[in-house]
Amino acid sequence: MVVDGNSEDDLYMMEMFKEVFADQDPGCYVWQNNYHTWNPTRASSAGSLELDTGDGLWEEDPQRREVEELIQTKRCVCIMQKWGGKREVMYTAFKALGPSVDYIQVCDSDTKLDPLATCELVKVLESNEKYGAVGGDVMILNEKDSYISFMSSLRYWMAFNIERSCQSFFNCVSCISGPLGLYRNDLLQQFLESWYNQKFLGTHCTFGDDRHLTNRMLSMGYATKYTARSKCYTETPAQFLRWLNQQTRWTKSYFREWLFNAMWWHKHHLWMTYESIVAGIFPFFVTATIIKLFWTGSLWDIIWVLCCIQLIGLVKAAYACLLRRSFLMVFMSLYSALYMTSLLPAKYFAIITMNKSSWGTSGRRKIVGNYIPLLPLSVWAAVLLGGLGYTIYRETQQNWRTEKKQEELKFVVFGSIAYICYWSLMVSLYWLVFLRVCRRRSKSYALEV
């Protein structure tokens, strides 16, 4: 385990590691630097070490050698290093391991692995030498914390068990998720430096590490797979603002990696090209349709489209209920509202600020103070409400006493009633099933390790 930070505030993670692996003779080390912050001039001037070799060359960080030796000789190791971001700590683990192992498994600090998770991943890679990486099923640990975490748990199930299962069928999973993934080490070491030094528009990339790692594997022509037999649990943001920041960050990396991924479509199944194009243009198509509908359509047009969206969502949710054999998947039909009101405008903000990497993530112990992503939501709400108001104004200027308008009025009334009844029913079911039947969230988790 590599801890991103070596200050006193980060020591609790190393202490937890020592406690969990007390019977495994764990190796723990506090590295004052990392692979990319070693400054031999500063170290020499401090008088701590004589590092000049006499020929104008400086030796490597002596602590680096100790870190690599510790990682390659002990089974359970915890390294605390100078803060550098997620990609930096991943690089440390990859670089220190070198060619000493056949496979490298990645997981986040908040991941709870199923006992057979690693075994199932290894089975997939050993089944075919053309498989370069494989990911598992990621489930939500804190799904009962809030409405956001509950909806995220449903969305995760759809994303992994339907979308990535489909991608895996065609050997082109677009992203091996950070909580649970396994890579062939000999291939990973070939693109390790280019992966770490990734730049976009001249700026060093600090997020989207897992997606770019997957893209690098795909660029070599190797297949990426998914297996539902390998499972893990992870936490998801329970607060709306933290969730919105997360989605904005993910969207930035998605569109950035979409451009990189497009260069390797010819190396994989046609499905990869088709899905990438459809998924890439979908938000723009929806935006254009909604704006045109709200500003130039009639009230009945708006109500009709909204009802159709919920009907399609309900059909998908019903299908998911049958596959998962769980009634809870019916609430997946409510995700469309979250997408239309929050995710869609966040995508445009992510595109506009794609090259900005100074914000977007924060520790779980910190209160989210970045309210900037709420701005596009406000603009989007103003556009929709403005369009709706303009449409209502136009409708009031027409003669509703004609036979055609009287017929349309019936559809508007019945459509509105149906739409309101649908949401009333779903909210009532959510309140009954989730808030009353399901146990309320506990203050802490009891995990068996």
pLDDT tens digit string along 380-416?
999 999 999 999 999 988 888 888 888 989 999 999 9
- Sign for the pseudo-dihedral over CA of 191, 192, 195, 197: negative
Tell me how far apart the alpha carbons of residues 449 and 446 are, in angstroms, rounded to a whole number: 10
Same domain for 74 and 139, yes or no, is no
Taking alpha carbons only, the member of 149, 418, 392 closest to residue 310 is: 418
**pLDDT for 18 beyond 80:** yes
Residue that the structure tokens 């489209």 belong to: 305
Between 52 and 160, name the one with better pLDDT: 160
Q: Are residues 9 and 153 in the same domain?
A: no
pLDDT of residue 359 exceeding 60: no
Domain assignment present for 447: no
Establish if 449 belongs to a structural domain: no
CA angle, residues 138, 152, 110, in degrees to nearest 5? 45
User: Hey, what are 271's tokens?
Assistant: 């499905």
Whether the pLDDT of residue 365 is over 60: the answer is: no
DSSP secondary structure string, 61-103? PHHHHHHHHHHHH-SSEEEEE----HHHHHHHHHHHHGGG-SE
Which tokens go with 131?
């498989």
Residue 387 in tokens = 């369009």
What's residue 438's pLDDT? 59
Q: Are residues 204 and 181 in the same domain?
A: yes
C-alpha span between 388 and 382 (Å, rounded):
10
Q: Residue 126: its pLDDT value, please?
A: 97
Count of the separate structural domains present in the chain? 2
- pLDDT above 70 as % of the chain: 89
Residue 39 clears pLDDT 90, i.e. is over it = no
Nearest to 148 by CA among 373, 309, 335: 335
Residue 43 has pLDDT above 80, yes or no: no
Residues 266 and 179 in one domain: yes
Across 214-227, average pLDDT: 97
Confidence label for 436 from pLDDT (cuts 50, 70 and 90)? low
Q: Specify if 442 maps to a domain.
A: no
pLDDT bracket for residue 354 (50, 70, 90): confident
Is the residue at 119 inside a domain?
A: yes
Q: Is the pLDDT at 446 greater than 80, yes or no?
A: no
Residues in the chain: 449
Query: Where among 98, 113, 144 does a domain terminate?
Result: 98
- Interval 99-126: pLDDT, tens: 999 999 999 888 999 999 999 999 999 9
- Which pTM value belongs to this model? 0.88
Residue 27: φ, ψ to 5°: -105, 125
Measured on CA atoms in the order 84, 247, 141, 133, is the torsion positive or negative?
negative
Domain boundary among 55, 79, 98: 98
- 66 shares a domain with 109: no
Q: Is residue 446 part of a domain?
A: no
* 140 shares its domain with 275: yes
- 232 assigned to some structural domain: yes
Whether residue 68 is contained in a domain is answered as yes
248 shares a domain with 142: yes
**Which residues, other chains included, contact 288 with Cβ-Cβ below 8 Å and sequence gap of 6+?**
none
Q: Which tokens go with 318?
A: 């019903």
Statement to judge: residues 72 and 109 lie in one domain: no
Round to whole Å and give the CA distance between 247 and 376: 13
Show the domain range for 127: 101-437
Shared domain check, 217 and 331: yes
Query: In this structure, are strands 181-184 and 103-106 parallel, antiparallel, or unpaired?
Result: antiparallel
User: Do residues 68 and 130 share a domain?
Assistant: no
Residues 232 and 291 in one domain: yes
- Angle at which helix 299-324 crosses helix 403-430, to 10 degrees, equals 30
Q: What percent of the chain has pLDDT over 90?
A: 75
Sign of the four-CA dihedral 424, 429, 434, 438? positive
Mean pLDDT, range 243-268, rounded to an integer: 94
Q: Is 58 exposed, middle or buried (0-12, 13-18, 19+ CB in 10 A)?
A: middle
Last residue of a domain, one of 66, 98, 130: 98
Residue 431, in any domain of the structure: yes
First to last CA, the chain: 15
CA–CA distances in Å: residue 312 to residues 150, 332, 335, 396, 427: 21, 11, 12, 31, 18
* 30 & 140 share domain: no
Query: What amino acid is encoded at 427 in this protein?
Result: V
CA distance 132 to 182: 9
Residue 57 CB coordination number (10 Å)? 9
